């Protein structure tokens, strides 16, 4: 496939204006402890405060709003490990459209329940079969796909998060974001390229599924078999082709984290800031406290989601005295 279109600051500003009233402009909050530790301001972008508990609201709304009424009338389908599915269900309901979500049967119950609560039809399959089943349903029922990350409108919607960071704190020198399929990281890279190219961008992924690390080395997406990891939102079968095209020219480094390092990020955010962030969303802070990133200038960590099984949260955090 060819190079996707360049995303400009004007594109992002127009997209952000359309999101007003449909997604939150989330706060950017300083961590006093991390700022002391690193000697520069370290802030967290609280995307877990979106209506569906994750940043996916931005991309889902942008993509669905840009469909024609005729396309929305056919019904919308996606495949998801949870947060994108919740966002698509939420936005489809807003437009009065049918939503079908193909979900891996290992997804956290809290995420599946969220999709059902917003009126989606759920199709449970193995993680490996999600995309194949979605395309079979598209062929059979004429549904319209809103892909979880490999979609320019989704990337543009996610890019409004970095736009807000750079508007609220123009001196930001480092942005750290999780990476699964790459929608948020691609949007971040596109925004940085358009607004402040000197910002250092890092992507963080589980060591059990280092898709971005492999893709950057190979120059193309590299498929991985499904794995079980605390960071359940960061394990699609591969990084997207569209997302990689935005990421590769901009990213400073892909960072991998062990399961223990990911868990430490969840604990730190709760114990130091009182924030309940799911493991996938906690990875940017986890990378910092693991000593895997040396920040240049003020830092923004994108905390992408907060939809975590309560039992997993209790197991990771334990007693908080």
pLDDT, averaged per 10 consecutive residues of the chain (321 residues), comes to: 89 98 97 97 98 95 98 96 92 96 89 91 91 94 96 98 98 98 97 98 97 97 92 91 97 98 97 95 98 94 92 80 40
* The predicted structure's pLDDT at residue 173: 97
> How many domains does the chain contain in total?
2
Q: Which tens digits make up the pLDDT trace of 108-155?
A: 888 899 899 999 999 999 988 998 999 999 999 999 999 999 999 999
Residue 2 covered by a domain:
no
The CATH number that applies at residue 155 is 3.40.50.1100
Out of 91, 125, 145, a domain closes at: 145
Kindly state whether residues 41 and 86 are assigned to the same domain.
no
CA 297 to chain centre: 24
Kindly state whether residues 303 and 156 are assigned to the same domain.
yes
Residue 4 covered by a domain:
no
Cα–Cα distance for residue pair 60/233, rounded to 1 Å: 16
Eight-state DSSP code of residue 290: T
Kindly state whether residues 193 and 79 are assigned to the same domain.
no
Residue 3 covered by a domain:
no
Nearest to 44 by CA among 33, 52, 53, 58: 33
Close Cβ partners of 233 (under 8 Å, ≥ 6 residues apart): 54, 81, 82, 83, 178, 180, 278, 280, 281, 304, 305
**Exposed/middle/buried for residue 255 (C-beta within 10 Å: 0-12, 13-18, 19+):** buried
* The predicted structure's pLDDT at residue 321: 40
Kindly state whether residues 231 and 242 are assigned to the same domain.
yes
Residue 123 covered by a domain:
yes
Kindly state whether residues 62 and 209 are assigned to the same domain.
no
* The predicted structure's pLDDT at residue 320: 47
Residue 1 covered by a domain:
no
CA 99 to chain centre: 20
Give the tokens for residue 230.
């605390």
**Alpha-helical regions (H) of 41-143:** 56-65, 69-74, 83-95, 109-117, 130-141
Kindly state whether residues 209 and 276 are assigned to the same domain.
yes
Cα–Cα distance for residue pair 283/289, rounded to 1 Å: 10
Kindly state whether residues 174 and 267 are assigned to the same domain.
yes
Residue 243 covered by a domain:
yes
Cα–Cα distance for residue pair 301/281, rounded to 1 Å: 9
Q: Which tens digits make up the pLDDT trace of 58-96?
A: 999 999 999 999 999 999 999 988 889 999 999 999 999
301: left (phi > 0), else alpha (psi -120 to 50), else beta?
Answer: beta
- The residue with tokens 């690193």 is 38
Kindly state whether residues 208 and 288 are assigned to the same domain.
yes
Residue 77 covered by a domain:
yes
Kindly state whether residues 78 and 31 are assigned to the same domain.
no
Q: Say if CB 201 and CB 192 are below 8 A apart.
A: yes
Kindly state whether residues 304 and 163 are assigned to the same domain.
yes
Q: What predicted TM-score, i.e. pTM, was given to this entire model?
A: 0.95
Give the tokens for residue 101.
């979500």
Out of 145, 175, 199, a domain closes at: 145
Instruction: Give, in order, the Cα–Cα distances in Å from 41 to each of 31, 161, 163, 255.
Output: 8, 19, 18, 21
* The predicted structure's pLDDT at residue 110: 87
Out of 145, 180, 196, a domain closes at: 145
Residues in the chain: 321
Question: For the chain, how big is the Rg over CA atoms in Å?
Answer: 18
Domain that holds residue 256: 9-55+151-317
Kindly state whether residues 28 and 68 are assigned to the same domain.
no
Q: Say if CB 222 and CB 207 are below 8 A apart.
A: no
Angle, helices 83-95 vs 109-117, to 10°: value is 10
């Amino acid at each position: 496939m060819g190079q996707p279109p360049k995303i400009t600051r004007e594109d992002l500003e127009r997209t952000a204006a359309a999101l007003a009233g449909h997604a939150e402009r989330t706060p950017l909050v300083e961590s006093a402890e991390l700022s002391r530790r690193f000697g520069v301001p370290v802030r967290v972008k609280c995307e877990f405060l979106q209506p569906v508990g994750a940043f996916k609201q931005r991309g889902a709304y942008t993509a669905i709003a840009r469909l024609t009424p005729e396309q929305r009338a056919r019904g919308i389908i996606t495949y998801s490990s949870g947060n994108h599915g919740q966002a698509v269900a939420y936005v489809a309901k807003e437009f009065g459209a049918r939503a079908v979500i193909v979900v891996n049967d290992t997804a956290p119950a809290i995420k599946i329940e969220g999709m059902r609560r917003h009126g989606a039809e759920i199709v449970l399959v193995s993680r490996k079969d999600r995309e194949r089943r979605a395309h079979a349903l598209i062929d059979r029922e004429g549904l319209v796909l809103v892909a979880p990350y490999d979609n320019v409108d989704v990337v543009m919607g996610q890019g409004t998060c970095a736009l807000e960071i750079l508007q609220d704190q123009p001196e930001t020198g480092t942005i750290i974001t999780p990476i699964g399929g790459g929608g948020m990281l691609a949007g971040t890279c596109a925004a940085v390229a358009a607004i402040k190219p000197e910002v250092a961008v890092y992507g963080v992924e589980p060591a059990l599924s280092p898709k971005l690390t492999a893709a950057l080395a190979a120059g193309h997406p590299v498929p991985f078999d499904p794995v079980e990891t605390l960071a359940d939102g960061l394990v699609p079968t591969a990084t997207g082709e569209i997302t990689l095209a935005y990421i590769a020219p901009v990213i400073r480094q892909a960072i991998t984290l062990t399961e223990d390092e990911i868990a430490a990020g969840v604990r730190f955010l709760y114990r130091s800031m009182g924030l309940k962030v799911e493991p996938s969303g906690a990875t940017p802070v986890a990378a910092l406290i693991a000593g895997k990133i040396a920040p240049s200038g003020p830092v923004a960590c994108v905390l992408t989601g907060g939809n975590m099984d309560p039992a997993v949260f209790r197991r990771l955090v334990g007693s908080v005295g």
